Amino acid sequence: MLESLISARTFKCFCYGYHLFRRWKLSKYIKIVEQTPLLSNAQKFVRFWNRALKGELFVGLWLVFKEFYKAQIHTVQYPLEKLPLSPRYRAVHELKRLLESGNERCIGCGLCEKICVANCIRMETGYGEDRRKKVFEYSINFGRCIYCGLCAEVCPELAIVHGKRYENASEQRASFALKNDMLTPIDKVLSGRDSEFSGVGSISVDADKHIKLTPLKYLEETDENAIKTTAEIKQKEEVNA
């Protein structure tokens, strides 16, 4: 009997609390019925004028026409004109040669092949007739290459660099993967039309100023003084003779 009374009282309290909560929730929202008044043709025209033909529209049109009829054109007339590229620009790779002899700079160390994150460099090396290590095949799959520049950065001989040739559209991806396509032509080197690479990784013009003297520099100075002393002694002997 006691349990039934407690249950009934609990249910009554729950119903009363739910009733209060419902009244409180409904009191938060007020519904307002607002009817849009009908506009006349004149009012519609004024509304269209205010929304569409504001002053900002004419300001923008004036700026466009002012730039349109200027004599100086900022547009680059490509392909007759091209923007200058930064020395750090990473385009299609180039294999360099030595300017003095025209020989290939690549020594076949394989560092570029090992560091390539895209695994797109392949190299075949061997010994030539003079028993020196040579690179017979060198290819880069430009379909996989991400042009990160790690191969050019790790090269100890500055043999592989990023050039400035970015117009490499072709029907076949294999057209730009062979060694002969990237290697600097030998006639360009022998004729003196090629120059030292000045991009990322190259030696600066004032590099000699930043070289510190080695601890053995005093030996060179001693040798120079000894040579001068020997030359002076010979001159004196010749004069006395």
222 within some domain: no
129 within some domain: yes
Residue 150: per-residue pLDDT: 92
CB atoms inside a 10 Å sphere around CB 110: 12
| 145 annotated among ligand-binding-site residues | yes
Indicate yes or no: pTM above 0.85.
no
Residue 114: per-residue pLDDT: 93
Instruction: Please enumerate in sequence order all residues whose Cβ is within 8 A of that of 178, keeping only pairs 6 or more positions apart, or say none.
Output: 139
Residue 185: per-residue pLDDT: 75
Residue 111: per-residue pLDDT: 93
Which domain CATH number covers 166?
A: 3.30.70.3270
| 13 annotated among ligand-binding-site residues | no
238 within some domain: no
| 120 annotated among ligand-binding-site residues | no
Domain containing 141 equals: 93-190
Residue 139: per-residue pLDDT: 87
106 within some domain: yes
Nearest to 200 by CA among 83, 86, 113: 86
Residues (pLDDT < 50) of the chain are: 2-3, 5-6, 218-219
Number of domains in the chain: 1
182 within some domain: yes
| 15 annotated among ligand-binding-site residues | no
DSSP states along the chain: -HHHHHHHHHHHHHHHHHHHHHHHHHHH------PPPPPPHHHHHHHHHHHHS-HHHHHHHHHHHHHHT-SS--S--TTTS-PPPPTT---SEEE-B-TTT--B------HHHHH-SS--EEEEEEE-TTS-EEEEEEEE-TTT-----HHHHH-TT--EEE-S------S-GGGG-SHHHHBPPHHHHHTT------STTSPPTTGGGGPPPPTTHHHHHHHHHHHHHHHHHHHHHHHH-
